[in-house]
Structure 1
Amino acid sequence: MKTLINFAVILFFAIAFNGIAYSNDECSFNGIDDVLYFQENSISNLREITVEACVKVNSFSARKSGANEIWQFIIFKKNQLDHFNEGFAIYLDEKNERFATSVASAKGIQAVIVDKKHSVELGRWYRLRMSANSKEIKFFVDGVLVKSAPTGFPLDFDSEELFIGGRTKILKDKDFEGRFCGSIKNIKIWSKVLDEDD
């Protein structure tokens, strides 16, 4: 099966310029100012998507701004709105120590899935997969379906960058942002919905 985007090679070159620790196809983010972003317009026109990454959390505390008090963003792609603008997002709820994912429509309607409270252990690797289309969103952790939820709206992605380890280039007080403190590897994006056994 061919992935739409495989970031292993791209990450290697991007990290050399951003000062992010990199080893063995793994990127480490300090939770303060590390973030990677890529101009990836092939995502902008997708009607369905699957995003997968292996993630290790190092801390339940990272730098945030705006009204954000609990979210560390792992992978983020904006939609065309200024608010409720998660085209898709995979993130960590540091207060409840759990992973979550969401998509939002061009009108700001959101579909969100969260895992059980206190399901994340520091220093442990997890394989996260989010699949979404106009009918539903599914979230898998380590090959197990956490939950599915109806979307009921077409997916919407802006032409702005795809972010890894955050959701903005520069932290500003007014921006809703949460940097990720941990490691990410094996990021893959498909232009179709996949179940965990696909």
Structure 2
Amino acid sequence: MEMHRIKANSDLNEESDKACYGKDNISVMEEPLTRLLKIFTFFAALGGAIFGYDIGVISGAVIQLRREFNLSTIWTEVIVSITVGTAAIGSTLGGFLSDSIGRRKTVLIGSGTFVVGAVLMGLTPNKELLLIGRMIVGIGIGLEGMVVPMYIGESSPPRWRGALVQMVNICVAGGTMAASIVNGIFSYYPWGWR
């Protein structure tokens, strides 16, 4: 009885796959994971590493930032949390942007936004520009966080989709770990927060 149900469900899945993809289930499920797709996924998933790095790096940098800019508790809290707040705004914008101009262009805009914010933070002479830089970085992170998993998923063959989208999460964890290492290395230098 149970084997009959499993066979019936298997037949339904094959029929739905044929309807969705216009091919036999076997040919769809055996699409290879090409070298180009691996490279593409790696670079697209770096958006996750950016997210993880920025979340993690502020924990070590905030100690030096308080000294450098004589930050009050309120300023410290705002500088730390503003990135997450603007990331929420960026992810909302990411949905609209990706629908209107496409996933690839949205990923590029997110990456460019992050770079502009990072340069502004690294060169900032005061806490106000640091705050603006963190806001810009947050928007870039939000765009990337919204669109990159979707972009990878839509570009991947069905058999490899879950594993390739998971690379974004692995990169978030890797970015956080890299931030901890960088925090430890640069904590001995007064300019280390830059």
TM bucket (normalised to shorter chain) is under 0.3
Structure with greater helix percent: 2
Relative to the length of structure 2, the TM-score reads 0.23
**Structure richer in strand, relative to its length:** 1
